[in-house]
Protein backbone atom coordinates (compact mmCIF):
# COMPACT_ATOMS: atom_id res chain seq x y z
CA UNK A 1 0.00 0.00 0.00
CA UNK A 2 1.34 3.44 -0.88
CA UNK A 3 0.34 6.80 0.45
CA UNK A 4 -1.19 9.34 -1.89
CA UNK A 5 0.29 12.82 -2.01
CA UNK A 6 -2.71 14.17 -0.14
CA UNK A 7 -2.21 11.70 2.71
CA UNK A 8 1.43 12.69 3.18
CA UNK A 9 0.90 16.46 3.01
CA UNK A 10 0.32 18.50 6.15
CA UNK A 11 -2.27 21.22 5.51
CA UNK A 12 -3.56 23.89 7.86
CA UNK A 13 -5.71 26.99 7.30
CA UNK A 14 -6.39 29.97 9.48
CA UNK A 15 -8.51 33.10 9.13
CA UNK A 16 -6.31 36.02 10.19
CA UNK A 17 -8.07 39.20 11.26
CA UNK A 18 -6.04 41.50 9.00
CA UNK A 19 -5.98 42.51 5.33
CA UNK A 20 -3.92 40.37 2.97
CA UNK A 21 -1.29 43.05 2.32
CA UNK A 22 -0.60 43.30 6.07
CA UNK A 23 -0.35 39.50 6.43
CA UNK A 24 2.01 39.38 3.44
CA UNK A 25 4.33 41.90 5.13
CA UNK A 26 4.40 39.69 8.23
CA UNK A 27 5.71 36.84 6.04
CA UNK A 28 8.17 38.93 4.04
CA UNK A 29 9.85 41.37 6.45
CA UNK A 30 12.56 40.41 8.95
CA UNK A 31 11.33 42.65 11.77
CA UNK A 32 7.89 41.07 11.45
CA UNK A 33 9.13 37.46 11.32
CA UNK A 34 11.05 37.86 14.60
CA UNK A 35 7.80 38.77 16.31
CA UNK A 36 5.67 35.79 15.31
CA UNK A 37 7.49 32.96 13.49
CA UNK A 38 8.10 29.83 15.54
CA UNK A 39 6.02 27.96 18.08
CA UNK A 40 4.94 29.39 21.43
CA UNK A 41 7.86 29.73 23.80
CA UNK A 42 10.45 30.09 21.03
CA UNK A 43 12.47 33.26 20.56
CA UNK A 44 13.46 33.87 16.93
CA UNK A 45 16.54 35.68 15.67
CA UNK A 46 16.65 36.44 11.97
CA UNK A 47 20.20 35.72 10.87
CA UNK A 48 19.50 36.71 7.27
CA UNK A 49 16.51 37.35 5.05
CA UNK A 50 16.86 37.57 1.28
CA UNK A 51 13.20 37.60 0.23
CA UNK A 52 13.41 36.77 -3.47
CA UNK A 53 13.28 33.57 -5.54
CA UNK A 54 16.47 31.67 -4.68
CA UNK A 55 16.99 33.77 -1.54
CA UNK A 56 17.07 32.44 2.00
CA UNK A 57 15.49 33.15 5.36
CA UNK A 58 17.99 31.80 7.93
CA UNK A 59 17.01 31.94 11.57
CA UNK A 60 17.88 30.72 15.06
CA UNK A 61 15.09 29.51 17.32
CA UNK A 62 15.67 29.22 21.07
CA UNK A 63 13.41 27.64 23.64
CA UNK A 64 16.26 27.95 26.17
CA UNK A 65 18.80 30.80 25.96
CA UNK A 66 22.10 29.62 24.55
CA UNK A 67 20.63 26.54 22.84
CA UNK A 68 19.73 27.62 19.30
CA UNK A 69 18.04 25.41 16.75
CA UNK A 70 18.72 26.70 13.26
CA UNK A 71 16.36 26.62 10.31
CA UNK A 72 16.13 27.94 6.81
CA UNK A 73 13.67 28.63 4.03
CA UNK A 74 14.92 28.77 0.45
CA UNK A 75 12.37 30.76 -1.50
CA UNK A 76 10.94 29.60 -4.80
CA UNK A 77 7.85 31.23 -6.26
CA UNK A 78 6.91 34.56 -4.72
CA UNK A 79 3.68 36.00 -6.10
CA UNK A 80 2.77 38.93 -3.85
CA UNK A 81 0.41 39.05 -2.07
CA UNK A 82 -1.25 35.73 -2.90
CA UNK A 83 1.26 32.85 -2.97
CA UNK A 84 4.60 31.98 -1.40
CA UNK A 85 6.61 28.80 -2.02
CA UNK A 86 9.76 27.75 -0.21
CA UNK A 87 11.75 24.70 0.82
CA UNK A 88 12.38 24.55 4.54
CA UNK A 89 14.76 22.47 6.59
CA UNK A 90 16.82 22.47 9.73
CA UNK A 91 20.23 24.02 9.21
CA UNK A 92 23.52 24.67 10.92
CA UNK A 93 24.62 28.12 12.09
CA UNK A 94 25.90 28.89 8.58
CA UNK A 95 22.69 27.92 6.78
CA UNK A 96 23.94 24.51 5.64
CA UNK A 97 21.39 21.71 5.45
CA UNK A 98 21.23 19.38 8.48
CA UNK A 99 19.02 16.65 9.89
CA UNK A 100 16.51 17.33 12.66
CA UNK A 101 18.40 18.20 15.86
CA UNK A 102 16.22 16.00 18.06
CA UNK A 103 17.72 12.56 18.80
CA UNK A 104 14.40 10.72 18.37
CA UNK A 105 13.95 12.26 14.87
CA UNK A 106 17.49 12.65 13.60
CA UNK A 107 17.49 9.63 11.28
CA UNK A 108 13.77 9.20 10.67
CA UNK A 109 12.48 12.67 9.73
CA UNK A 110 12.50 14.04 6.16
CA UNK A 111 15.39 16.36 5.41
CA UNK A 112 13.44 18.99 3.43
CA UNK A 113 9.88 20.10 2.81
CA UNK A 114 8.26 22.00 -0.04
CA UNK A 115 5.83 24.57 1.35
CA UNK A 116 3.07 26.46 -0.38
CA UNK A 117 1.32 29.26 1.50
CA UNK A 118 -1.67 30.98 -0.06
CA UNK A 119 -3.31 34.20 1.10
CA UNK A 120 -6.95 34.85 0.16
CA UNK A 121 -8.61 38.08 1.25
CA UNK A 122 -12.23 38.01 2.33
CA UNK A 123 -14.08 40.93 3.91
CA UNK A 124 -10.92 42.50 5.35
CA UNK A 125 -9.60 39.21 6.74
CA UNK A 126 -7.09 36.82 5.21
CA UNK A 127 -7.42 33.08 4.83
CA UNK A 128 -3.91 31.67 5.14
CA UNK A 129 -3.47 28.08 3.96
CA UNK A 130 -0.14 26.32 4.39
CA UNK A 131 0.74 22.97 2.79
CA UNK A 132 3.97 21.13 3.60
CA UNK A 133 5.16 18.15 1.54
CA UNK A 134 8.28 16.06 2.21
CA UNK A 135 10.86 16.14 -0.60
CA UNK A 136 12.83 13.04 -1.66
CA UNK A 137 11.77 11.28 1.53
CA UNK A 138 11.88 7.55 2.12
CA UNK A 139 8.65 5.73 3.04
CA UNK A 140 9.91 5.55 6.65
CA UNK A 141 10.57 9.31 6.72
CA UNK A 142 7.13 10.04 5.29
CA UNK A 143 5.56 7.75 7.87
CA UNK A 144 7.43 9.56 10.67
CA UNK A 145 6.22 12.92 9.29
CA UNK A 146 2.61 11.76 9.05
CA UNK A 147 2.87 10.34 12.56
CA UNK A 148 3.71 13.81 13.82
CA UNK A 149 0.73 15.61 12.26
CA UNK A 150 -0.94 16.19 15.66
CA UNK A 151 2.23 17.74 17.07
CA UNK A 152 2.81 19.80 13.91
CA UNK A 153 -0.80 21.01 14.10
CA UNK A 154 -0.25 22.20 17.70
CA UNK A 155 2.95 24.02 16.65
CA UNK A 156 1.31 25.73 13.68
CA UNK A 157 -1.72 26.70 15.75
CA UNK A 158 0.59 28.46 18.21
CA UNK A 159 2.46 30.12 15.33
CA UNK A 160 -0.82 31.42 13.89
CA UNK A 161 -1.87 32.58 17.40
CA UNK A 162 1.31 34.67 17.52
CA UNK A 163 0.62 36.03 14.03
CA UNK A 164 -2.92 36.99 15.07
CA UNK A 165 -1.61 38.72 18.19
CA UNK A 166 0.88 40.72 16.14
CA UNK A 167 -1.63 41.76 13.50
CA UNK A 168 -4.51 42.56 15.84
CA UNK A 169 -2.64 45.27 17.76
**104 CB contacts (<8 Å, ≥6 apart)?**
none
Residue 99: CATH number of its domain? 3.30.530.20
- Percent of the chain at pLDDT exceeding 70: 96
Convert the pLDDT of each residue in 144-159 to its tens digit. 999 999 999 999 999 9
Average pLDDT, the chain: 93
Q: What is the 3-state secondary structure (H, E, C) of 118-167?
A: EEEEECCEEEEEEEEEEECCCHHHHHHHHHCHHHHHHHHHHHHHHHHHHH
Convert the pLDDT of each residue in 39-93 to its tens digit. 999 999 999 999 999 999 999 999 999 999 999 999 999 999 999 999 999 999 9
Reported as type and span, the H/E element at residue 68 is strand 68-79
Span of 55-59, 98-102, 128-132 with lowest mean pLDDT: 98-102
Task: Note the pTM of the prediction, 2 decimals.
Answer: 0.93
Convert the pLDDT of each residue in 19-31 to its tens digit. 999 999 999 999 9
Closest of 118, 161, 128 to residue 15, by C-alpha: 128
Cβ atoms of 152 and 165 closer than 8 Å: no
Candidate ranges 20-24, 106-110, 140-144; pick with highest mean pLDDT? 20-24
CA 49 to chain centre: 14
* Number of domains into which the chain is organized: 1
Say if residue 6's pLDDT is above 80. Answer: no
H helix intervals, 14-91: 20-28, 30-36
Q: Which domain holds residue 116?
A: 5-167
Say if residue 1's pLDDT is above 70. Answer: no
Closest of 65, 66, 56 to residue 91, by C-alpha: 56
In angstroms, the CA 61 to CA 38 distance is 7
Amino acid sequence: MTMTDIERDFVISRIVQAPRARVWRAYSEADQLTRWWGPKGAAIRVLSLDFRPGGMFHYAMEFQPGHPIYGRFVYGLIRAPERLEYVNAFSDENGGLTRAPFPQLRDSFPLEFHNVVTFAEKDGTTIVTARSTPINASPAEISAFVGMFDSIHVSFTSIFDKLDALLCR
